[in-house]
Amino acid sequence: MKINCHCHIFSLDCVPLEFRRRFFLDLKHPVQGIAHRAVRRLLPDNSMLEDWLELAELSIFEIAHRLVEEMDAAGIEIATPLMMDMAFCKEFGGDIKDFEEQTAETQAAVEAINRRYNRIRMLPFVAADPNRQNVVELVIEALRGRGFKGVKVYPVMGFTPDDTRLYPIYEYCAEKQIPITSHCENGGIPGLGEYYHLADPKYWAVVLKDFPSLTLNLAHNDRTGSDWQPVIAGLIIKYPNVYTDISYDTEMLYTPRRYFKDIKRMLGTAKIQDRVLYGTDWYMGRCFWTETSYLKWFLEYSKKIFWCQVEFTDQEIGRLTEENPKRFLGLNAEAVNA
C-alpha cells in the first residue's frame, strides 16, 4: 500500500490575488484570462503543461478528484493533502478565500472521496499560521471533529516555527501523536526569497527541546542552495519521531544521479532509513510529472537512464513508500480499511 505523504488540493482562489497576477494566473482579469485560454489552445492535447494550467480553473473538490484519479493510475492508495494558509503572506497577503471556507471545502472533498471508495484514500492536514486569530482553537477543532489527520506549517509566509503562539498546537499534537508536516526548504512560493530562511530547521531544534516526542516531517529534505540537510539528519537521529520527505526538489531535475544516490544512502543508513517519506508535492510540479511518472523515477527511470543509474531495491521502495509513511501517520490495517 503506497502512500503519498506530501500533496495539495487547494484551489487558485486560496492564493492571494497579487500573487496570481504576478504569475499571470488571475483568470478573472480580462487580459490574463484571455491569455491563459489562448496558451491552453496552443498547447498539444493532454500535455502536462496544459493539464497543469487546467487545474488553475478547478475547485478544491474537482482538484481532489483529479488527484485520486492519478493516484489510482499510479497505484497510490493514500495521500495527505496539505492545506495552505496564505492570508498573512507578508509579500502578497489579502484577497483570498476565507479560511473557514477553505477548511470546509477540503473536508467535504476528502469525505466525498473516502465515501466513494468506502475506505480511506485521503487524510488532510490543516494549516497553522500563528498570525491567524484563534489559530489554536481552529486547528484543534479541525483535528478533533472535522476529519483532519495532521497539521501543516509553512514558515515562509512570514513566521518561524518556534513562534510560541503555535506551542499549544505542538503540545496537543505531541500528546495525541498527531503528525506535523513543515515546509523545510530554502525555496517554495516563488518571489519570497527574502523569507526562505524562516524555514531553517534550526528553529525546529528549539521546538523539539520542549516537545521531544513530536511527530514531525521536515519536508523536502533540502540540500539545494542550503546546508540544511545535515541539520535535518541530526534532528532525525536525536529525536524519535522526526522524519523528512523527498517531495519536489529541483535537484531531481538538474542532478538526478546525485539526488537519487543521496536518497539511496539515507535508505541504507541506520536511524535515518526508517524516517524517509515518499511525497510528490502534487500538483506543484504537475507540469513536469504525473503521480505515475514521479513514482517511476524510483521504480524504473533512476536505474535505466545512463546519466543516473541508481537502483533501489524492493526493500528500499517498500520502506520509502509504505512502511515509513504508515508509521508517520500512525496507521494500522483497521484504520486504513475503516
Number of compact structural domains in the chain: 1
Distance CA 80, CA 5 (A): 5
Strands (E), 119-275: 125-127, 150-153, 180-183, 216-219, 242-245
User: Which of 219, 93, 105, 104 is CA-nearest to residue 158?
Assistant: 93
HSE-up of residue 68 (Cα within 13 Å, Cβ side): 20
Helix 167-176, helix 202-210: angle, nearest 10: 60
pLDDT tens for each residue of the chain, 338 residues long: 999 999 999 999 998 888 877 776 777 777 777 776 777 777 777 777 777 777 888 999 999 999 999 999 999 999 999 999 999 987 776 688 999 999 999 999 999 999 999 999 999 999 999 999 999 999 999 999 999 999 999 999 999 999 999 999 999 999 999 999 999 998 887 667 888 999 999 999 999 999 999 999 999 998 766 789 999 999 999 999 999 999 987 788 788 899 999 999 999 999 999 999 999 999 988 888 899 999 999 999 999 988 889 999 999 999 999 999 999 999 975 455 55
Q: Which domain holds residue 284?
A: 2-337
Name the one residue in this structure whose C-alpha cell is 508536516.
Answer: 181
HSE-up of residue 53 (Cα within 13 Å, Cβ side): 22
CATH of the domain at 272: 3.20.20.140
Q: What angle do CA 312, 200, 329 make, to 5 degrees?
A: 50
